[in-house]
Structure 1
Amino acid sequence: YCDQDFEAEFVDVLNQQCYRYLQQRKEKTIPVAAKSGPLVAQTMAYATSKDVWKFITELGISKVQLSEDDIRTILDTLLYDGKVERILNVTGEYLYQAMESYLPPPGIVRMPCGICPVMRNCSEIGAVNPTKCTYLSEWLS
């Protein structure tokens, strides 16, 4: 948010950059798969939210200090979009990997409300509301 306005463009950029990082990480494992096998390559393709946070921080695309929780929220939207998969490792930490979608996403996911990162804050009378929602307006037009 910037002065109570949701920064949709900034969130889109964060989504794209997080996904790009995960894609690049996966692409780097292709030569490893040829040498060590697909399981080793798949394991190496996973990244923690801290790995992604470090990448985003080093890019310097944010004027505000982003937390690892902020990045985890972005990664969750990518998960709901079907662009990444998430697993839990033995230490209880989530790992993320870019994936190709083979099936179209279900209807609720294609509707902006189904993947909105601020859905909890949305109400008819609040600053975030369906009447002023740019996601919903773009989707309907």
Structure 2
Amino acid sequence: MARRKLSHEGTLVLDCEGLSKLLDDHEPTVAQVAEARHRGMEVVINALTIVEATHRRTDQARLAWLLSGFRISPISDKEARAASALLLGTGLHGHKYAIDAAVAEMAIRQQRPVVMLTSDVDDMKKLCGDRVHLVGI
């Protein structure tokens, strides 16, 4: 399916819960993504989000279809170091918050305004500060 190229009017970032809810056809999340696209926002996920959201029961065909409509942001050593710096700055530990930090670091770099659909509003607020508008799902 060809997708229309829209001028960027900001970025919508999905964390693991956002992707999981889309995979489950959660109506409010589907509507939020549709509204963001209607407004010309680019939908972006961190490559690690795919790993975090995938499990034995994941519908691989649906996952592939959803991912085809997103920009998937890779994580290199540069991004990993920046995510580590976020952790250090907040006092959070990488063992528990590594993927959250990578997602937050990626969100901060996106074209503004940036909106993130997340189930971890408190943790993401610590990591993103006021640079990303957080919407709890």
Q: TM-score normalised by the shorter chain: which range applies?
A: under 0.3
Structure showing greater radius of gyration is 1
User: When the two structures are superposed, what TM-score results if normalisation uses the length of structure 1?
Assistant: 0.25
User: When the two structures are superposed, what TM-score results if normalisation uses the length of structure 2?
Assistant: 0.26
More strand, by proportion: 2
